[in-house]
Amino acid sequence: MSKQQTTIKLTQTALMAALCYIGFQFLRFDVPIGMEKTAIHFGNTFCVLGALLLGGLWGGLAGAVGMTIADLTSDYVTYAPKTFLLKLCIGLIVGFVAHKIAKLSKEHEKPYIIRWTVISAVAGMVFNVVADPVVGYFYKRYLLGMEDNLAKSLAKITAATTFVNALTSIIIASLLYVAVRPALMKAGLYVRVDEER
């Protein structure tokens, strides 16, 4: 990558991190569960979009940093380490499918781009739907010292909100990527993931 491309990539990563922060901090609907709570939010949408636009590592870091900062500045502060790990993994998975398997950075017909955009988003969100409640259970049970039955109940409820978050993220991130990709290419701001060194 040239110096100019590196600057563009860092700027876009910072922008995606800010969008992930906003998506969780300000576009969030808390779901109270007794003394605990979970949330329906749009942070994952921008994490997926970041991985589609920037590649797995950069998109994952944007999601991890943005949403971890959102946790640290909200009532979700105790979940910040779990958030960092899971959002980084979402980005890595989406980016791997989009750019290593489908090679979305290269020129393709629109139906191919749409199909692989959705497949990539689904891959990352399926991981999250499974991992978030499972990791959440172990995190609450063994790191936060929560009682076993309560941790299991919270994991089940979290699975429902995670599923809703996944569906909205797949739809919105896919639509945004398909719309934004050509505009970035036309403006010379689309840094191809396969050009990175």
Per-residue pLDDT, 68: 97
Domain regions of the chain by residue span: 3-29+36-192
Torsions phi, psi for 55 (to 5 deg): 100, 165
Tokens of 2: 């040239």
Exposed / middle / buried, residue 183 (Cβ in 10 Å: 0-12, 13-18, 19+):
exposed
Distance, in Å, from the CA atom of 85 to the CA atom of 87, rounded to the nearest integer, reads: 6
pLDDT in tens, 58-108: 999 999 999 999 999 998 998 999 999 999 999 999 999 999 999 988 888
Tokens of 84: 């960092």
pLDDT in tens, 94-116: 999 999 999 988 888 999 999 99
Q: Tell me the fold of 3-29+36-192.
A: Arp2/3 complex 21 kDa subunit ARPC3 (1.10.1760)
pLDDT in tens, 122-174: 999 999 999 999 999 999 899 888 899 988 988 888 899 999 999 999 999 99
Contacts for 80 with CB less than 8 Å, ≥ 6 apart: 68, 71, 72
**How many Cβ atoms sit within 10 Å of the Cβ of residue 101?**
12
